[in-house]
Amino acid sequence: MSQNPLSQALHLLQEEKVVVFPTETVYGLGANATDDQAVAQIYAVKNRPQFNPLIVHYPTIEAMEPDVILSPLARTLARHFWPGPLTLVLPWRSKGSRISDLVRAGGDTLAVRIPRHPLALELLNKCPFPLAAPSANRSGFLSPTTAAHVRDDLGDSIPLILEGGDCTVGLESTILDLSGETPLLLRAGSITESDLAPFMTDLFAEENKIREGSPHKILKAPGQLESHYAPCHPIRLEAITASPEEGFITFGPPPSHKASHVYHLSLRGNLIEAAAHFFKALHWLDEKKIERIAVMPIPYEGIGMAINDRLRRAAADRPS
Ligand code: TXA
Ligand code: MG
């Protein structure tokens, strides 16, 4: 096998193996999206419920033309936001597309994106097929934003992790469904509703708007299980202080508290910085001997919507 990690990755992918690669959002567990055997390995490694479809990653818009139908709106958004942390759910081209049925979980839409991380782009540009890739964590566990997170969670079950440093965005991509009559925001992310609004006159129907306090009502991606980003410890939201048995995640100037382990998401109260550190904070506190994780309130604005969405899921009881 060749020495350089990128060539190794390409070799493994061609052999129907899975490879972990960095993206600007979170690390992805990639496999050949046109090969059932390869995609089946993703589900096996993640222990993922079969009904949950996967995002397919491409190097260019041209490369996705055989697989999805891009409306004029989809093309405008694609040109503006790609490469970047936006996933579009589009009608799948049943004729001519080689994408595995497993990727779509049998459905007639396909979720696609072009990631921005240079290593991901290099891999995709050199790869003769697109890569299906969910976040590289066991199903139901925290998304990884460093290669070390992946090693801790998936350990020996994957042959190669391409090391690409810390993910700069730190939260999974925004998912916008353009397959129906009205655009639907399925998952909040760093590209926010107000970033998307200028491109759509009929943006989101009133009943689909994310409302303060109830963002979960509209999040309908099949994989958006209630408890999804669960750390080991229970979570206490909207905490204004913390006790000695708690780990404490703060935002903005920290209040006085008695917590033994504290992670400052952003001392200056910057939501983008907080998002980039969010999963790291949960991973770090997961390793501590504490009873609970207390989290200060995060404003419901901009990418704060996405952080609150992940927090609410992390705090939900896990399905048994
Ligand atoms: O930032 C990201 O999107 C990362 C990186 C690796 O690209 N990927 C990621 O994948 O977060 P995953 O599998 O952890 O989350 C994908 C979400 C799931 O909730 C899934 O149900 C939804 O996207 N999804 C995938 N295909 C879909 C489709 N055709 N229609 C609706 N939702 C879909
Ligand atoms: Mg995931």
pLDDT digits (tens, 9 = 90+) for 51-68: 689 999 999 999 999 999
- Edge-first strand order for the sheet with 261-264 is 235-236, 292-295, 246-250, 261-264
The answer to whether residue 213 scores a pLDDT higher than 60 is: no
Ligand 1 pocket, residue 133 CB under 6 Å: yes
The answer to whether residue 109 scores a pLDDT higher than 80 is: yes
Query: Which residue out of 39, 43, 87 has the highest number of ligand 1 atoms within 8 Å of its CB and is therefore the one to mutate?
Result: 87
| Closest atom of ligand 1 to CA, residue 27 | 6
- Nearest CA, atom 29, ligand 1: 110
- What would the 3-class secondary structure string for the chain be? CCCCHHHHHHHHHHCCCCEEECCCCCCEEEEECCCHHHHHHHHHHHCCCCCCCCEEECCCHHHHCCCECCCHHHHHHHHHHCCCCEEEEEEECCCCCCCCHHHHCCCCEEEEECCCCHHHHHHHHHCCCCEECCECCCCCCCCCCCHHHHHHHHHHHCCCECCCCCCCCCCCCEEEECCCCCCEEEECCCCCHHHHHHHCCCCCCHHHCCCCCCHHHHCCCCCCCCCCCCCCCCEECCCCCCCCCEEEEECCCCCCCCCCEEEECCCCCCHHHHHHHHHHHHHHHHCCCCCEEEECCCCCCCCHHHHHHHHHHHHCCCCC
Ligand 1 pocket, residue 173 CB under 6 Å: yes
Nearest ligand for residue 57 CA? 1
| Closest atom of ligand 1 to CA, residue 104 | 29
In the prediction, which pLDDT does 50 show?
Answer: 66
User: What phi, psi does 51 have (nearest 5°)?
Assistant: -80, -5
The residue-averaged pLDDT of 258-269 equals 97
Which token pair is 2? 């060749």
The answer to whether residue 221 scores a pLDDT higher than 80 is: no
Contact of 29 with 20, CB cutoff 8 Å: yes
Nearest ligand for residue 103 CA? 1
Contacts of 106 (CB under 8 A, 6+ apart): none
Q: How far is the CA of 208 from the centre of ligand 2 (A)?
A: 22
User: What phi, psi does 318 have (nearest 5°)?
Assistant: -75, 145
- Nearest CA, atom 31, ligand 1: 221
Contacts of 260 (CB under 8 A, 6+ apart): 244, 247, 288, 290
- Determine the Cα–Cα distance for residues 273 and 122; give it in Å rounded to an integer: 26
| Closest atom of ligand 1 to CA, residue 115 | 7
Query: Which residue out of 54, 82, 116, 219 has the highest number of ligand 1 atoms within 8 Å of its CB and is therefore the one to mutate?
Result: 54
Ligand 1 pocket, residue 234 CB under 6 Å: no
Q: How far is the CA of 189 from the centre of ligand 1 (A)?
A: 12
The structure's pTM equals 0.89
- Determine the Cα–Cα distance for residues 209 and 200; give it in Å rounded to an integer: 14
Q: Could you report the per-residue pLDDT of 154-200, keeping only the tens digit for each?
A: 988 899 999 999 999 999 999 999 999 889 999 999 999 999 999 98
Ligand 1 pocket, residue 31 CB under 6 Å: no
Q: Could you report the per-residue pLDDT of 17-44, keeping only the tens digit for each?
A: 999 999 999 999 999 999 999 998 999 8
User: What phi, psi does 216 have (nearest 5°)?
Assistant: -65, -25
Closest to 280 measured CA to CA, from 149, 140, 141: 149
